[in-house]
Amino acid sequence: QQQVKQSPQSLIVQKGGISIINCAYENTAFDYFPWYQQFPGKGPALLIAIRPDVSEKKEGRFTISFNKSAKQFSLHIMDSQPGDSATYFCAATLNSGGSNYKLTFGKGTLLTVNP
Amino acid sequence: DTGVSQDPRHKITKRGQNVTFRCDPISEHNRLYWYRQTLGQGPEFLTYFQNEAQLEKSRLLSDRFSAERPKGSFSTLEIQRTEQGDSAMYLCASSWWASPGTQYFGPGTRLLVL
């Protein structure tokens, strides 16, 4: 059972464009949704995260939009740059109330930003 | 460098050999996680520690796998009698008690079993 579904699998964007990656989750108990960026041969790096009590969070060029009723959230990268070319993973976990807090990841989106 | 570190970064071994990986978490983090990532997939949870106690193991963690965190600081992950299917990136992450979901990952150990 895939608890976090991510799309698209790959994405090509022109420099300066907007990159949009979508995720949907099944477990309504999830209360913390981070996004990670991973370059080849490196570990995932935490980009930005959101809790379900807000609908949007922005940090620099990165914005998370969250729709609790639809159980969906998305990452928007504004003014995409070639240096943003990487694999992006959405994830979900419980961040409160006890539990092991393990992250459940989507399958990833390979983003290519053309110059 | 105050981030999560892992050693070795790369390991090539022959099938049937034992291997051990080490993870040093961010110093003030009490939670430590091990994940496994295969090509084209997201990381999958293997096990986690709160201080020195191992509190959960995934069904992915067969009895050939063992993890320890003896003093609540660094952790080791050992794979006995390696199989080709064990080839993957092994990732360690740590988090602070106040925000356990905010996990910071190390660079990983890439294992290749021949």
A44 with B44: Cβ contact below 8 A: no
Q: Which residues of B touch A106 (CB under 8 A)?
A: 42
Q: Is B101 on the interface with A (CB under 8 A)?
A: yes
A60 CB-contact burial (10 Å; exposed 0-12 / middle 13-18 / buried 19+): exposed
Give the tens place of pLDDT for each residue, A21-43: 999 999 988 989 999 999 998 99
Q: Which residues of A touch B107 (CB under 8 A)?
A: 42-43
Q: B104 or B61, which is more confident?
A: B104
Query: B38-45 — which CB contacts under 8 Å span 24+ positions?
Result: B38/B87, B38/B88, B38/B89, B40/A107, B40/A108, B41/A107, B41/A108, B42/A6, B42/A89, B42/A91, B42/A105, B42/A106, B42/A107, B42/A108, B43/A44, B43/A89, B43/A103, B43/A105, B43/B91, B43/B105, B44/A105, B45/A102, B45/A103, B45/A104
A101 with B56: Cβ contact below 8 A: no
Give the tens place of pLDDT for each residue, B73-114: 999 999 999 999 999 999 999 998 888 889 999 999 999 999
B42 with A43: Cβ contact below 8 A: no
**Number of neighbours of residue B38 by Cβ within 10 angstroms:** 12
For residues A49 and A58, is the Cβ–Cβ distance under 8 A? no
Who among B99, B106, B107 is closest to A95 (CB)?
Answer: B99
Q: Is B106 on the interface with A (CB under 8 A)?
A: yes
Task: Kindly report the nearest CA distance between residue B46 and chain A, in angstroms.
Answer: 9
A34 with B42: Cβ contact below 8 A: no
Q: Which residues of B touch A89 (CB under 8 A)?
A: 42-43
Q: Is A43 on the interface with B (CB under 8 A)?
A: yes
Task: Kindly report the nearest CA distance between residue B54 and chain A, in angstroms.
Answer: 10
B40 with A108: Cβ contact below 8 A: yes
Q: Is A101 on the interface with B (CB under 8 A)?
A: yes
Quick one: which of B92, B107, B109, B91 has its CA closest to B19? B109
Supply the mean pLDDT for chain B: 94
Give the tens place of pLDDT for each residue, A30-85: 989 999 999 998 999 999 999 999 999 999 999 999 999 999 999 999 999 999 99
